[in-house]
Structure 1
Amino acid sequence: METIRAIEIGYGSLSFTQTVIDNVPSIKTFASVVSAVSNDDLSGGLAKRDTVRVEVGKAVYEVGPDAYLLSDRSSSRVLNNTFIETDQYQALFKGALFMMDVTSIDLLVLSLPVNNMLRSDALKQQAIGEHVINGKKVNVKNVWVLCQPLAGYLSYANQIGQKGFDELKEQNVLSLDFGFSTADWLVSRGLKINDKRSNAVSMGMSAILEEVSKSLKSAFPHLDTIPLNLIDEAFWKHPGTIKISGRSYPFPACDGVDSYGKETRIKFDVSSDINKVVVSCLQNVRNSVGAGAEISKIIVMGGSHEVYLPEVKRSFPEHEIVIVDRPMTAVCEGMFYGGVQYMAAIKRQRAA
């Protein structure tokens, strides 16, 4: 039986099929943080980081769930169309291969944002072949590159079963993927994509975090910067609360009382900063897609989908809007299941 694996290297997170049991993938996910290796160990050996060291060119990096522990104030993520050419991308790619349970892959499925699919051939060429990571050799025989919202669509198709998909593939569907750097949308009928009504904009979660950080700076003038990860955690780790300098404040608005009812001089309201990005994002979608009279269903996915969902509903008030199971990993799951179908199609063609 062919070995099929998927790696989704996003601007915000990395997801990959670590193992596959009975044709069901086990997905591992962590932040797309890549840290240059330091030989210093200040823990005295008391704890070991959950990371993997990989070589890219002459540099050595650590990637994994604990890579953020090595990041410093100069660390940054690459948030542009050259991402696949960077050391960061290569380090994440090699780290994922190393953490997989296989050494030979018949089909590796990778993904790109809608507006970066023109780089799919280049990505395919750099991924095919033998990769040596810390002495482990992984041979990638073939690569298929999917655009991310289509992979999420395939995850939803797998979720509803064959009968449900038989109905779905006859409908015009809008798939929305809200990621860290970009918000992607795709209009399709079955697997046939309407290119003219599909696109992406750089209005993902990172744009919201940047706007909120700038606004919060006036509330915390003694701090030279508000780390984006602290703001990010206020959306998902402890929703409704932001933790800064050891104190907790209501989020997105604080009116002089902290989360424990104690008075504070801190006051802020970043609701408008969040709303500005979200509304502008959905305006771009509406300008591209239109009001959607011929669209039967809207499929929503992505780690930051909850932030955008209210505006999606306001923009398309009459449509059926469904959220995929496991929105954070749906794209990676869809990549795997799409790869299974892709491999089966290749076998049928060879047998014909």
Structure 2
Amino acid sequence: MKKNVVALDIGYSNFRVAYGQGDKFKSCIFPAGVKEGHSCNIKAKEEHDPPFCVNIGGISHIAGIEPMQTETRALHRWYIESDQYLALFYAGLIQSGYSKIDCLVTGVTMSEYLEGTQVKQLTKMMTGVHHVAPNVKIEVDDVHVVAQPFGSYFNSILRNSMDRFLSSVLVFDAGFYSLDWALFHKGKIIESTSGSSMLAVSMVLEEVSKLLYKDCRMALPIAEIEAALRKGRNYVFCFGKKHKLDSYIKRATEKMSTEIYDTILNRLRMSENPVDIVVLTGGGVVYYEDIVRRIFPSSELIIEPDPLFSAVHGYYHYGLSKQG
């Protein structure tokens, strides 16, 4: 009998789930907002649609809502210790529909992976029996925690020739909370030249908010700008006037580009191998493409065709590979 695999990419803006058995799997994406819910009805899996109702410490929480609908939001390096993260983890388990999960794979930022503490912490926290709701429990047998860029690297290998990826490959993952990059040489992470930066999408949107305020004197929350972009709406309203976000995003990224440029090149200067291929992925692909092309003008650039799902699909296939 085939074992099942569940892959979770629990981000700060969205969380993604991939689940299935063998090559047949499903994947989905939901907003990463969580709040306490006083009237939260738990439904059977076949009846369930997000938002998800989960139980944490005897208190009902609603998970999978827009962050702008929440009162508080975790945007810090201790995210995995927050009720928000735990609620999204439970929501991912529920979405899979399994009462027992044979293999679960998730990821952490590159810096967290290198430091190691959160890898051990997450592995321990996710393994075992979880009482996700009253009278609902889900057991997780085997847990693997990898570096966030590894998921996209593994996924890119499946889509391309393995021979191409035996050279030096840099995966650049532009997330909401962090920018993560990992240099792979002959399939192995070169830790000394890999890392993370906080100059991520959230910082871009924070700068966009400041620029909008200068133009229209209206303080728009980052979550409101984020929600507009998530819905494919490339504008916001300030006092009834439409402001397109393209120019603001370009100005914001240009302002941050020098610092990003210096941060990455300072780490890569220790590498003995030139970067042959750059894989660009993550929700912030459109914000960072120009910066990446500037840093690596001679490298082949591969932009993941489905950047929001690249990591979680890689996690899933990695989980399959661990089954032998």
Same fold (TM over 0.5): yes
Other-structure match for 2:97: 101
1:273 aligns with 2:235: no
**Amino-acid identity (%):** 23
Other-structure match for 1:142: 142
Other-structure match for 1:132: 131
What is the CA-CA distance between 1:228 and the residue it aligns to? Answer: 1.3
- SS of 1:75's equivalent? coil
- SS of 2:85's equivalent? helix
Other-structure match for 2:191: 195
Other-structure match for 1:314: 294
How many Å separate the matches in 2 of 1:297 and 1:276? 26
What is the CA-CA distance between 1:236 and the residue it aligns to? Answer: 5.5
Q: How many residues align?
A: 312
Q: Tell me the alpha carbon deviations over residues 203-254 of structure 1, each in whole angstroms, 9 at most, x when there is no partner.
A: 1100011112122223333x4x31213323565644653334544223344x
How many Å separate the matches in 2 of 1:106 and 1:22? 12
8 Å CA contact 1:14–1:92 kept in 2: the answer is yes
Larger radius of gyration: 1
1:251 aligns with 2:245: yes
What is the CA-CA distance between 1:172 and the residue it aligns to? Answer: 1.0
The change in CA–CA distance for 1:187 and 1:283 in structure 2 (over 3 A counts) is same
Runs of 4+ in 1 over 6 A off after TM superposition: none
Other-structure match for 2:66: 68
How many Å separate the matches in 2 of 1:4 and 1:234? 33
1:110 aligns with 2:111: no
Other-structure match for 1:153: 153
Alignment of 1:47-62 (within 5 A): 50-62=50-62
TM-score for both structures, normalised by structure 2 = 0.88
1:217 aligns with 2:213: yes
The change in CA–CA distance for 1:271 and 1:22 in structure 2 (over 3 A counts) is closer
How many Å separate the matches in 2 of 1:49 and 1:21? 22
One-letter amino acid of the structure 2 residue matched with residue 229 of structure 1:
A
How many Å separate the matches in 2 of 1:38 and 1:245? 34
8 Å CA contact 2:253–2:288 kept in 1: the answer is no
1:14 aligns with 2:15: yes
Among 219, 235, 242, which residue is 2:236 paired with? 242
Other-structure match for 2:313: 333
The change in CA–CA distance for 1:84 and 1:315 in structure 2 (over 3 A counts) is same
One-letter amino acid of the structure 1 residue matched with residue 131 of structure 2:
V
User: Which is worse superposed, 122-131 or 235-244?
Assistant: 235-244
The change in CA–CA distance for 1:168 and 1:279 in structure 2 (over 3 A counts) is same
What is the CA-CA distance between 1:277 and the residue it aligns to? Answer: 2.2
The change in CA–CA distance for 1:71 and 1:182 in structure 2 (over 3 A counts) is same
The change in CA–CA distance for 1:136 and 1:311 in structure 2 (over 3 A counts) is same
What is the CA-CA distance between 1:26 and the residue it aligns to? Answer: 1.3
Where structure 2 has 5 or more consecutive residues not aligned to the other structure, the ranges are 41-47
How many Å separate the matches in 1 of 2:243 and 2:312? 35
How many Å separate the matches in 2 of 1:50 and 1:107? 23
Q: Tell me the alpha carbon deviations over residues 55-82 of structure 1, each in whole angstroms, 9 at most, x when there is no partner.
A: 1124321012xx228824x332x22221
Among 205, 223, 230, which residue is 1:229 paired with? 223
One-letter amino acid of the structure 1 residue matched with residue 3 of structure 2:
E
How many Å separate the matches in 1 of 2:235 and 2:51? 29
RMSD: 2.5
One-letter amino acid of the structure 2 residue matched with residue 36 of structure 1:
E
How many Å separate the matches in 2 of 1:332 and 1:90? 18
How many Å separate the matches in 1 of 2:69 and 2:228? 20
1:207 aligns with 2:203: yes
How many Å separate the matches in 2 of 1:136 and 1:39? 17
The change in CA–CA distance for 1:99 and 1:291 in structure 2 (over 3 A counts) is same
